[in-house]
Amino acid sequence: MDAHTSLLPARVRLEGARFWTADAARPWARSVTIEGGRIAALDEPATPGTATVTLPAGTVVTPGLIDGHLHLSLGAQTLAQLDLSGVRSRAEFEDAIAARARTLAPGRWLRAFGWHEAGWGGERPTREWLRGAGDVPCVAYRMDQHACLVNGPVLAMIAGEPCPAGGEIVLDARGEPTGLLLEQAAWRLVNPRLPEPPAEDRREALLAAMRHCNAFGITAVGSMEYERDLRDVHAHLRAHRRDDCTLRVLATILDREWPVDLSWGRSFAGDGLLSIVGWKSFIDGTLGSRTARMLAPYADDAANRGLLVEFAEHDARHGTHRLRDWVRAVLDAGFSPAVHAIGDEAMRVALDAIAPEDDARIGRYEHCQTLDDTDLVRMHGRIASMQPLHKADDARIAPSRLGAARMRSFFRFRDLARAGARLAFGSDWPIVSCDPLLGIRAAVTARDLDGGTCMPEQSLTAEECLLAYTAGAADALRAPHLGRLAPGAAADLCAFADDPFACDWSRELPRVAATLLGGRVVHGALPAAAGVSSAP
C-alpha cells in the first residue's frame, strides 16, 4: 500500500459526525456504512461483523468534492515551474526570472506561469522583462494560458512563420514583436517547441498532482487532457501503479483537428479510476487577454470584440457549420461536447451549435463568464460548468473590460440557477488554485482577490456551492455514482473538521480533516476503528 494511503476495515460504519448527502429528499444522515469501496447503507444500526469509526464531535462529512474542470496533466507540470502569480511589479517579475535562470541545468528552457497584469497596474509585459534569462529560451504563460511572453531566442525559432488564424503576434509601434503571443499564436507556434519531460517524470508529477488535489477534499476531477498524456501517463499509472492513484479522472479530450477522430476514444478501456466522458473545442479566449468574443467592443479597446478560434473561427471565415458538425459527431459517438465560451457572443455561438443537436442536454458550456439576457433563458436544463475563483480574479479587470452597463452580464450564478441551468463547479487549475473552498468563498461572498466586492446579487449559499462541487459536477461528468452519499455510490468522502454550512466564509475556511477514495484514506487521518461491533 502506498505510503500516502491507508485502508479502513472491510466493512466499517462511520458515526459521530453529521453526514450531508447532497440529496434534497434526504439531506442528512447520522452514519455511513462502507463495504467494498462503496456505500452500503445510511443510518444502519451497528451490526456484528461491522467495525466502527467514531468521528470527532463537530465533524461534517460530505461526498468527496469534484472539480468539474481542470487540467491535471498541465497542473502537474506547473508544480515544478516558476510561479509568477504573486508578482506585483516589473522589477519583481524580472528578479524572479533572473533568479530561476541561475538554477537551470544547461540546455533547459525556463518555463514560468501565472502572471497577471492586474498585479502591477495593467501594463502589458514585453520580452525585455525576460532579459534575466539571457540566451536561455524562456516562455512565461499568463495565468489564463491564453497568452504567453517569450524572449529573443524563442522569437528567433518562430521567425518567418505566419500567425495562425485565431491568434495574434503582438507588435510594437515599429512593427517588431513585443514577445507577447495570444491564443493560437501561443498554442501553435510555441507549445509544439517546448521540450517534453521524460514519461517517468510526467508520471511522478501526475501522482503528486493527485495528492495535491486530495489535500483539498477532492476525489474526482473532470480533466481536460490530450490523447498523448492520457495514453502515456494516465493509463500507464492505472495499469502499473494503480494503488498509487488517489484520484478519479473523467477526461475530456482536447482534439483540435478536423475531422475529429473519435474511434480510439470509443475503444478506450475506461474504469472507475479513469474514463473518457467527452471532447472539447474552444470558441474564444479570455477577458483578461481581451480575446473573449463579445457582442459589443471592449470598453477599454473600442476597436476590439475579441477573437473566435478553432471551428468557430473557421465557420465565421468560410460560412460553414463545422462547429455544429463537430457537436453532432461527438454526440453520435456517445460523448459529451464541451465548449470553452467566455464572451457573450461566444456563448451565443455555443448555444446555436449545441442546442439544436443536444436533446439529452449533456453538452457542457465551460466558463459562461458573460451571458446576454437573450441567451440566459436558453440555458434552462443545460450545464453551466463554471469556476467561481475566476470571478474573484477577473472581477479586478472586468469593469474596465466590460464597462458599468455590461457588468450585469458577468458571472451570473444566481441568474443561471433561477433560469434552471445545472451548475457544475471547478477551478481550471493551474490557471487558479484547485482548492474548492476558495471557489466557495468567492461564490458566497462575492469578494475579489483585492478584497473588493463584485456583483453580490449573484452570490450563492454554501450549500448551493457544495451541490455544484459534488452532485452537480458528477452529473455534468456523467458519473451519477459520484458526488452523493447513497447506497451503491462510491465511498468517496470529505471529512471537514469544521462545519462548512455554519462558518463565516468571509473570515475563515473550514479545514479538511480527511479525504477518502473508495474507502481508502488518501489524505489526513480518521480515528482508529473500534474493532468489530456487537449488536446493541
Burial 215-244 (b: 16+ CB within 10 A, else e): ebbbbbbbbbbbbebbebbbebbbeeeeeb
Instruction: For residue 219, give the C-alpha cell.
Output: 476525489
Q: What's the predicted TM-score (pTM) here?
A: 0.90
pLDDT(279) > 90:
yes
Nearest to 470 by CA among 457, 461, 479: 479
- Distance of alpha carbon 482 from alpha carbon 239, whole angstroms: 22
Nearest to 529 by CA among 48, 53, 206, 100: 53
Instruction: For residue 299, give the C-alpha cell.
Output: 470598453
pLDDT(51) > 50:
yes
Output the DSSP codes for 167-207.
EEEEE-TTS-EEEEEEEHHIIIIIGGGSPPPPHHHHHHHHH
**pLDDT for position 113:** 92
**Confidence tier at 5 by pLDDT (50, 70, 90):** low
Q: What percent of the chain has pLDDT over 90?
A: 89
Output 385 or 4, whichever has higher pLDDT: 385
**pLDDT for position 532:** 65
Burial label for 400, CB within 10 Å (0-12, 13-18, 19+), is middle
Angle at which helices 344-354 and 310-318 pack, to 10 degrees? 80
Kindly report the number of other CB atoms within 10 A of residue 535's CB atom.
Answer: 9
- The model's pLDDT over 285-319, given as tens digits with 9 standing for 90+, comes to 999 889 999 999 999 999 999 999 999 999 999 99
- The model's pLDDT over 181-207, given as tens digits with 9 standing for 90+, comes to 999 999 899 999 999 888 899 999 999
CB 63 within 8 A of CB 430: no
- The model's pLDDT over 371-406, given as tens digits with 9 standing for 90+, comes to 999 999 999 999 999 999 999 999 999 999 999 999
pLDDT(520) > 50:
yes
pLDDT(102) > 80:
yes
- Distance of alpha carbon 249 from alpha carbon 226, whole angstroms: 13
3-state secondary structure of 504: coil
What is the pLDDT averaged over residues 17-40? 98
Average pLDDT, the chain: 95
- The model's pLDDT over 444-475, given as tens digits with 9 standing for 90+, comes to 999 999 999 999 999 999 999 999 999 999 99
Within a 13 Å sphere around the CA of 283, how many CA atoms are in the beta-carbon half?
30
What is the pLDDT averaged over residues 164-175? 94
- Tell which CATH architecture fits domain 6-64+489-524: Roll (2.30)
pLDDT(535) > 90:
no
CATH 3.10.310.70 fits 78-193, yes or no: yes
Which residue ranges make up each domain of the chain?
A: 6-64+489-524, 78-193
- The model's pLDDT over 215-251, given as tens digits with 9 standing for 90+, comes to 999 999 999 999 989 989 999 999 999 999 999 999 9
CB 126 within 8 A of CB 178: yes
